[in-house]
Amino acid sequence: MTSSERWNRATADRYDAEETENSSAAVLHPTLDFLTELAGDGRALEFAIGTGRVGVPLRERGVPVVGIELSEPMAAVLRRKIDEDTLPVTIGDMATTVVPGGFTLVYLVYNTISNLLTQEEQVECFRNAARHLEPGGRFVIELGLPPLRSLPPGQTAVPFDVSERHLGFDTFDLVEQILVSHHFTREGDDGRYRRGNSRHRYAWPAELDLMARIAGLERERRVADWDGTPFTQDSPKHISVWRKPA
């Protein structure tokens, strides 16, 4: 078992309602176009498939999708949308769990590799992706860049959302590369707030490239978003593609 925090039933049950923006056509269509092109005529494996925000519509596009998911409650929500024969899901962690067959695409979206809290486990995730890929297949990661340039000297917290119904900020352990996301979410109109937090290990693009090299993968492409915008030093996230040599 890896160090990933396991999502519980309460979190799983409200996940889709809290991710409506990321499930919109404006966000999903470029994501699905990008992944469909890379999958080609082969199969796709999603690490940390969650409730199927990406995997289910990708399967509906005709790409055979298989998932690995650590949280049984998250997988149970996915199962309400699509049956096991159409989209098989194995319960396990993305660093060590192996599923049968080969894949032309393995992908990991929405910062999820940061759920692995050690460098060693993140390296194993790359190795696991390479293990599943057919020669010429691709591994894709979507990952945000920590806003460390926004940290004044001596400060360890950066807000990322300040709105009427939600306050979110990240705190950083710069030595261990650990980021903790803190959320205060307003529930109803009676002034009650729900507090939550999650831990993540951030990694820079160059560090991920080295992990890929250790796993025998070669970087093929890095862009700023699913639309293919060029990646620059001001990009808040990146989509990176590594290829397994043929």
Quick: pLDDT tens for 182-236: 999 988 778 788 898 999 999 999 999 999 999 999 999 999 999 999 999 999 9
pLDDT over 80 (residue 103): yes
Range in 120-124, 138-142, 146-150 the model is least confident about: 146-150
pLDDT at 193: 87
Residue pointed to by tokens 């352990």: 173
Closest listed residue to residue 68, CA positions, set 108, 41, 101, 123: 108
pLDDT at 151: 86
Percent of the chain at pLDDT > 70 equals 100
pLDDT over 80 (residue 6): no
CA 74 – CA 10 distance, rounded (Å): 10
CA 25 – CA 216 distance, rounded (Å): 35
pLDDT at 23: 80
Q: What is the pTM of this model?
A: 0.93
Range 33-45 average pLDDT? 98
Closest listed residue to residue 43, CA positions, set 105, 85, 95, 88: 105
pLDDT over 90 (residue 44): yes
At position 213, the amino acid (one-letter code) is R
**By CB neighbour count within 10 A (0-12 exposed, 13-18 middle, 19+ buried), where does 111 fall?**
middle
